[in-house]
Structure 1
Amino acid sequence: MAATCIMKQVEERHVATEITRCVWSPKMDLVAIANIQGQVAMHRLSWQRVWVISSPGENIKVTGLAWRPDSKVLAIGYSTGEVVLVDIEDSNPVHKLNVNAEVTALNWAVHVPEEPPKKETLFEDSSETFLPPLPSLSKTYTGSSGEDREEGWHEGCLLRDQTSLTLLTVATSAASVYIYAFGLFHCATVNLGESVPGAGQVLDATPSHDLHLLSCLVERDLGGEREVVHVTIETMILACRHQELRALAYRYGQIYGLMTYASHTLTLLTEAWESILLELDHKLAAYANTVPEGGVSAEFLDLLVFGLSSREFEIFLSNQLTEKGLKKLGHSIELSYSNIQKLVLRNVQAVGQALVYQLSALVGLARHHDRFGMLGVEEDIVTNAVREAGAFVLKAVELQQVIDGAMSTFKAFLRWLYVVVQRVRGEAVPDEMSRMTQQDLTYITEFLHDSLEDTETGPDGEKRTRFRLERVGQYLKDAPLTFAPESDHNPWAIFLAEHPGVADHSLIFPHYPERSLLQEHKNIVSVLDDMAGQPAKVISGAVNIVAWVPFMSVAPIGPVSVSQISCPRDNAMYTVLLPGPKQAVLYLARWPTSAERLAQSSAGPGPAHHVEAAPFVFSRLEGTRGCSMEQATSTPLLQLIGAQFYTEDTLSVLAQDPGDPKASFFIQLWMLAACGELRPLAVYGGRRLAEAGVTPRDAGTLVDASGYRRLEGGPLSSLAVSGSRKVALLLSENRRRVRLFEMEVDEDDEDDDEEDTAQHESIINASGASDDQVDNL
């Protein structure tokens, strides 16, 4: 059935900031819009704004937008090289990538296998059966209602309900393309500059539905001349091992989420610890600055050993450390210790155990070397990661024991200090409070030894005294432990020391006495990064550039419009390209994706026998709608503004009438008719299409009366269409006026809409945009 252009305008708005990019959701009536200020906003078809995301920094532009195929996540690419994946429910970032070069294009495709995959329990994730859910992170533990939670790992939502493999491709200005499975797992990096001389920015990189190839359009510099080249990248390894890749990416996604959760937990641990130090600083630092360095510790020791102290210290105790103040200090520090203990016991140990589980499952996959070996999964590397995750768990257990001891010493010190203050103030002390055992004396001595004074230089250059509780605080520093716990009498440690062969076994987790918890976390991050980087290296080596074909020369400056779509029915990739704004010619090409045709391609420039292409112009539109036959037939070549695939069967083209700048044409070109005009690239002799002497086909003869619509109201600049949602968005020439359309509506609704639109446009043209039409993006 031929394409029709029956459309109804549902909304028209003016915006305050120039719009740069618009992308429709494939599953919902939502459109993502980026403006020149680097903001991204989500709007409904009615133009109701759902949310808006500010620019991450000054002069940072949005250079790419792509929806995940299920429309639950939006990928945003920036000029800094950062790619942010956003949950559309609340606009929160769920994951971030960085490709170290300006992002030029994003594409998120779903794999459509040639045959329905067989379900294999080997690849299923059963962690929910064996692992309890991780506790929600909260900065306060004042209640059990779970309010004020800060969910520490958002990557989990990237994998939720993902039954099919999806690939996010990131094209850059440095002639490189990055491929990420599920938007998380780095699969491969393709450097086009190694095979295409003079390759510059990549205009588009779209994977085929079957993952057989990656179709890229890249700019090429030929001594000042700007050329567009099509590059075919063979990715058969992704197609042949798509089940293994999905299982591997899913495991890595779980691990990424757990590591993010661990990082948030350590941040909360540090904040809780700093609150203890602030409490001590508030009480003791003011007095410490009035005495020589180390004076406070000496005063406490003299008081404990000899029962004597200076007059100044007695005044400090009686005036500053009141009974109420001591109780408040004790409650605050005890609460902070309790928070730290809960975080270690419930969160750190839980996430460590989950890491060990996921990595152990990955070891199981690695042992299927015939299936996962070609993806770069090595059992030795993964096993080492399991051991390091186990070391992280052991360090958390060690910290838990140290916290127990620190709480005991602090309580003993606080009880003794209360007695001392009461005596200095001349008040009675209960007998049960004044009794002190040898164990209590040991605890107090340990606390004073632990609470060492430390001098630091402030922002103003002055030296200030701070107090540190080294026994616990040393675990939250990126430095070796100052006071490592003794393990000489531990039977297990003695056994491992006597049997080094057992200690080196992969099932025995190593213990590093000198490392802090922060160092263990830093180490496991480094190990996991190295482990995750190995598959990308191996898969990148198996991905090949099989052919590149010069397309055309374009203007030295100015945008080049590109749209690509993969068609499972035809086993082909379709590409449409406009060499610049308001050009008369567009170029359409079809690239086969079948493995047989791909294998026959040869590397390097030149004829490609199974690739077909042709240039097209629109000279006239017969059977007009909105203008007379004489006007339509006498019109010279239409100036083409934009082209984008509406569906696999339809190409949407936006054109302008050169005789009437206020009139534009929205055209739906039937792909079946257009493909009948394509010819093999071999007939062009390896030359650019524009230089091969081929007369452009007249696409105007392929469009009937229902295949286009004449639009009044001023010149337009770009379009965004979605065949799955049957919607279209058109931007005015100044990119501040938005017109939203429903497509494929009933003809009666369209006729009514044309009358309303004509009346509305006459009002606008007469009076200009009203204030209530201005809507900040």
Structure 2
Amino acid sequence: MAATCIMKQVEERHVANEITKCVWSPKMDLVAIANIKGQVAMHRLSWQRVWVISAPGEGVKVTGLAWRPDSKILAVGYSTGDVVLVDIEDSSSVHKLNVSAEVTALSWAAHIPEEPTAEETMFADTSDNYLPPLPSLSKTYTGGTVEDQEEGWHEGRLLQDQTCLTLLTVGTVSAAIHLYAFGLFHCATVDLSEAVPGAGKVLDATPSHDLHLLSCLAEREAGSGREVVHATVETLVLAYHHRELHALARRYGQILGLMSYASHTLTLLEEAWESILLELDHKLADYARTVPDGGVAADFLELLVFGRTSSEFEVFLLSNELTEKGLKKLGNSIELSYSNIQKLVLRNVQAVGQALVHQLSALMGLARCHDRFGVLGVEEAAVGRAVQEAGAFVLKAVELQQVIDAAMTTFKAFLRWLYVVVQRARAESVPEDMTRGTQQDLTYIAEFLHDGLEDSPASGADSAEGERRPRFRLERVGQYLKDAPLSCPPESGPNPWAAFLEKHPALATHSLIFPHHRDRSLVQERNSLAGVLENMASQPAQVISQVITVASWVSMVAVEEGATVNVSQISCPRDSAVYTVVLPCSGKSLLYLARWPTTPEVLVRASAGPGPAHHVEAMPFVFSRLDGARSSSQDHTSASPILKLMGAQFYTEETLSVLAQDPADPRTSLFIQLWVVAAAGELKSLALYGSRTLAEVGLTPCDAGALVDASGFRRLEGGPLATLAVSGSRKVALLLSENRRRVRLFEMEVDEDDEDDEDEDAAAQHESIMNASGASDDQADAL
């Protein structure tokens, strides 16, 4: 069997900006494309643009793209160290990571267990059976866009339909590789510089299908130049405990999503609260300018206690600001805002708090299986502290609900009294039921005036210097929404439960009794919980990173300063190996192919200790003797030229796609499909001593042209091509021109009749495209 290269061009387009990266979806006919301006665009095979994402900042570049194996999420790495996970349905950002260094490599792989096993019910997430779905953060309560409100719960979408474990690897310019289960849970960090002297920029980091190893390619300073090294990172702990890692990552993902939901809910609470203060502030702003500091509160109290007031205050009461219609509108508006706050606390805050307690309690159950989860760094004590903090958050939400009830009562009493006072000042009739009041009502009004009003300097660009105005504090509720201790904690009164715990202090510290921090605000409780969760989530990564080691490393090839190295890797379950291709420099003739076994025995032997040599199965390849590929002007009796290699990428596990150029005709390129099994048969088992590279071993390059038959390559006219992106699962290819602004899209493995029809139209289509290449950028299809 040999690889065939039957392909049909479906599109040829020009773009306004240079393309830097392009990656095909493994499940759909979609290609993600990044350009020099830091934009990311999603295109169909027909080149129809689905959406585009702008750069997150000035000068920020896209340095990595990777699809989740199910093609529902795209990971985008930036030069700032950010990695954004994008939902391809609507281009929304569902999660963001930061690795503190420029991202240079992204890979997202699915775990394929060696032996499929039945799902263990003890690890199953059954929270849906016990927890109601969280209310949607829609625009029922406050202003803003729907997209902004749904932002807080996107992390939960990352776990939907994820039945098999996936691993996102992020390589950086500082030789660090970060591993994230499901793209959410940070499970390990590998620092190549600790084992590989001089290691720097990570070029690629691909997990094996069985998670036995991480196949890494990185640049290394060697003497006065640079070289590409391959490091085999042994990750057997992930393979042996993949079920535990799967369960742990799902729990952490759920908790992360719930915390995002809680944070966004508190933001909505603050917005609703500010709307109340602005409503009241507006009514008193003009009057405050006419009285001394503290005059507003004094006038209200004097009117309440003595039934009289100053002439200035009487004029204010008779103003247009306090008409019967205006007071009713104010009352309805503020009561609605109070009601919205109450709903957010009752339906959202308490619900998410209870969900957090449930998920953390389930995690506590996993932590108690120390023989299975202890090796992953899950500590029962750390999870217990998180459960306690989540319980304290729920108790504070209940307390806030009680305070809101009391605040609504005092506000209604104040507004009712103010309505009666204004109507009497206007000599208007007042309904008899409105004039009735009790001593308790007077107490409510006094509490409202005492807690609610204060004078403060005016703010804003239009405010005069030194101008003062009243501001409603309403501390009874507002204090819970500040990152500061409560200024007036609620009176608990004679509480039997509090008295019981005070009498039995040992019981108060029991893990099943949630603590009540009397002086903390709701925001402080959230922040405290977030800190405990962050500390808890960091422990597994620290523990797993300590047992992950670099089993061996090999110097592959020296590279020129400033040269762009082209690499591609793929894990092959059939061969229990990872295949690596390295093209040291575009436009050169050598290509290096290597194979790394993933069997545990080989990894354990390699990591047992430094030996006399580093072992590798590899071979350099050149391409020549491609029948019919030579320039028409060349004498067919002469030797075939060695082709210049522009790019290489694995099409499937069995096929390697190579883009080459005929040196005798720079405008002619060749697309080659090399059968990997045939090439692998030429690999030599080598022992590299010291820092010798493959190029220094003295191997005679193998001619891969002899392994390619007439149907294994395709001659492409129309100018030099610079790079390629292929997908064997979707049977598509994208070829990029030398200026990186002309795209040619192909369907692969088509019927031969379709290929013949395409050849007949190729010349006419190419002429039309070349005529359009002179058009201005605003007429081109811009990314």
Output the TM-score relative to the length of structure 2: 0.96
Alignment partner, residue 335 of structure 1: 336
Pairs within 5 Å for 1:459-498: 459-460=460-461, 463-465=467-469, 466-498=471-503
How far residue 620 of structure 1 moved from its aligned partner, in angstroms, is: 2.9
Letter in 1 for 2:600: A
Alignment partner, residue 561 of structure 1: 566
Gaps of 5+ in 1: none
Alignment partner, residue 706 of structure 1: 711
Letter in 2 for 1:181: A
| Match status 1:775 vs 2:781 | yes
Alignment partner, residue 243 of structure 1: 243
Q: Secondary structure at the match of 1:154?
A: helix
Q: Supply the distance in 2 between the matched residues of 1:119 and 1:523 (Cα, whole angstroms).
A: 35
1:416–1:683 Cα change, 3 Å? closer
Q: Supply the distance in 2 between the matched residues of 1:629 and 1:673 (Cα, whole angstroms).
A: 29
* Kept in 2: contact 1:620–1:632 (CA 8 A): no
| Match status 1:621 vs 2:622 | no
* Kept in 2: contact 1:657–1:665 (CA 8 A): yes
Alignment partner, residue 186 of structure 2: 186
Alignment partner, residue 136 of structure 1: 136
Letter in 2 for 1:745: V
* Kept in 2: contact 1:454–1:468 (CA 8 A): no
* Kept in 2: contact 1:546–1:604 (CA 8 A): no
Pairs within 5 Å for 1:687-726: 687-726=692-731
Q: Supply the distance in 1 between the matched residues of 2:570 and 2:508 (Cα, whole angstroms).
A: 56
Q: Supply the distance in 1 between the matched residues of 2:175 and 2:466 (Cα, whole angstroms).
A: 51
Q: Supply the distance in 1 between the matched residues of 2:408 and 2:53 (Cα, whole angstroms).
A: 44
Gaps of 5+ in 2: none
Q: Secondary structure at the match of 2:153?
A: coil
Q: Secondary structure at the match of 2:767?
A: helix
Letter in 2 for 1:119: E
* Kept in 1: contact 2:630–2:662 (CA 8 A): no
1:443–1:761 Cα change, 3 Å? same
How far residue 457 of structure 1 moved from its aligned partner, in angstroms, is: 5.8
Q: Secondary structure at the match of 1:735?
A: coil
Give the aligned length: 774
Q: Supply the distance in 1 between the matched residues of 2:153 and 2:333 (Cα, whole angstroms).
A: 29
Alignment partner, residue 543 of structure 2: 538
How far residue 224 of structure 1 moved from its aligned partner, in angstroms, is: 3.7
Letter in 1 for 2:781: D
* Kept in 1: contact 2:644–2:660 (CA 8 A): yes
Q: Secondary structure at the match of 2:322?
A: coil
CA RMSD after TM alignment:
1.9
Q: Secondary structure at the match of 1:774?
A: coil
Q: Supply the distance in 2 between the matched residues of 1:148 and 1:254 (Cα, whole angstroms).
A: 20
How far residue 290 of structure 1 moved from its aligned partner, in angstroms, is: 2.8
Pairs within 5 Å for 1:342-741: 342-456=343-457, 458-460=459-461, 463-465=467-469, 466-602=471-607, 607-609=613-615, 611-624=616-629, 630=635, 634-682=639-687, 687-741=692-746
Q: Secondary structure at the match of 2:656?
A: strand
Q: Secondary structure at the match of 2:569?
A: strand
How far residue 192 of structure 1 moved from its aligned partner, in angstroms, is: 1.1
Q: Greater shift after overlay, 238-247 or 217-226?
A: 217-226
Q: Supply the distance in 1 between the matched residues of 2:371 and 2:362 (Cα, whole angstroms).
A: 17
* Cα-to-partner distance string for 1:627-676 (whole Å, 9 max, x where unaligned): 58845964522111100000011100001111111100000011111111
Letter in 1 for 2:547: A
How far residue 607 of structure 1 moved from its aligned partner, in angstroms, is: 2.9
* Kept in 2: contact 1:586–1:616 (CA 8 A): yes
Q: Secondary structure at the match of 1:71?
A: coil
Pairs within 5 Å for 1:17-28: 17-28=17-28
How far residue 428 of structure 1 moved from its aligned partner, in angstroms, is: 2.2
Q: Supply the distance in 2 between the matched residues of 1:172 and 1:317 (Cα, whole angstroms).
A: 67
Q: Supply the distance in 2 between the matched residues of 1:684 and 1:707 (Cα, whole angstroms).
A: 37
How far residue 763 of structure 1 moved from its aligned partner, in angstroms, is: 3.8
Q: Supply the distance in 1 between the matched residues of 2:188 and 2:715 (Cα, whole angstroms).
A: 45
1:625–1:50 Cα change, 3 Å? farther
Q: Supply the distance in 1 between the matched residues of 2:325 and 2:673 (Cα, whole angstroms).
A: 80
How far residue 456 of structure 1 moved from its aligned partner, in angstroms, is: 4.1
Q: Supply the distance in 2 between the matched residues of 1:645 and 1:539 (Cα, whole angstroms).
A: 31
Q: Greater shift after overlay, 630-639 or 419-428?
A: 630-639
Q: Supply the distance in 2 between the matched residues of 1:239 and 1:509 (Cα, whole angstroms).
A: 37
* Kept in 1: contact 2:631–2:665 (CA 8 A): no
* Kept in 1: contact 2:142–2:272 (CA 8 A): no
How far residue 423 of structure 1 moved from its aligned partner, in angstroms, is: 1.6
How far residue 488 of structure 1 moved from its aligned partner, in angstroms, is: 3.8
Alignment partner, residue 176 of structure 2: 176
Q: Greater shift after overlay, 43-52 or 472-481?
A: 43-52
1:250–1:348 Cα change, 3 Å? same
Letter in 2 for 1:776: A
* Kept in 1: contact 2:26–2:71 (CA 8 A): yes
Percentage of identical aligned residues: 72
1:189–1:683 Cα change, 3 Å? closer
Output the TM-score relative to the length of structure 1: 0.97
* Kept in 2: contact 1:606–1:686 (CA 8 A): no
How far residue 469 of structure 1 moved from its aligned partner, in angstroms, is: 0.7
Q: Supply the distance in 2 between the matched residues of 1:142 and 1:360 (Cα, whole angstroms).
A: 33
How far residue 702 of structure 1 moved from its aligned partner, in angstroms, is: 1.0
How far residue 431 of structure 1 moved from its aligned partner, in angstroms, is: 2.2
1:658–1:371 Cα change, 3 Å? same
1:185–1:631 Cα change, 3 Å? farther
* Cα-to-partner distance string for 1:712-737 (whole Å, 9 max, x where unaligned): 01111110000000000000111111
Q: Supply the distance in 1 between the matched residues of 2:666 and 2:466 (Cα, whole angstroms).
A: 70
* Kept in 2: contact 1:608–1:680 (CA 8 A): no
How far residue 253 of structure 1 moved from its aligned partner, in angstroms, is: 0.5
* Kept in 1: contact 2:11–2:46 (CA 8 A): yes
Letter in 2 for 1:774: A
Q: Secondary structure at the match of 1:115?
A: coil
Q: Secondary structure at the match of 1:681?
A: strand
Q: Supply the distance in 2 between the matched residues of 1:587 and 1:381 (Cα, whole angstroms).
A: 48
Q: Supply the distance in 1 between the matched residues of 2:103 and 2:89 (Cα, whole angstroms).
A: 25
* Kept in 1: contact 2:630–2:641 (CA 8 A): no
* Kept in 2: contact 1:176–1:189 (CA 8 A): yes
Q: Supply the distance in 2 between the matched residues of 1:511 and 1:626 (Cα, whole angstroms).
A: 83
* Cα-to-partner distance string for 1:267-317 (whole Å, 9 max, x where unaligned): 100000000011011111232233222111111111111112111111111
Q: Supply the distance in 1 between the matched residues of 2:745 and 2:701 (Cα, whole angstroms).
A: 32
Q: Supply the distance in 1 between the matched residues of 2:490 and 2:466 (Cα, whole angstroms).
A: 35
* Cα-to-partner distance string for 1:519-572 (whole Å, 9 max, x where unaligned): 000010101000000101000111011111111110111311110000000000
Alignment partner, residue 74 of structure 1: 74
* Kept in 2: contact 1:101–1:173 (CA 8 A): yes
Q: Secondary structure at the match of 1:206?
A: strand
How far residue 17 of structure 1 moved from its aligned partner, in angstroms, is: 1.0
Q: Greater shift after overlay, 535-544 or 687-696?
A: 687-696
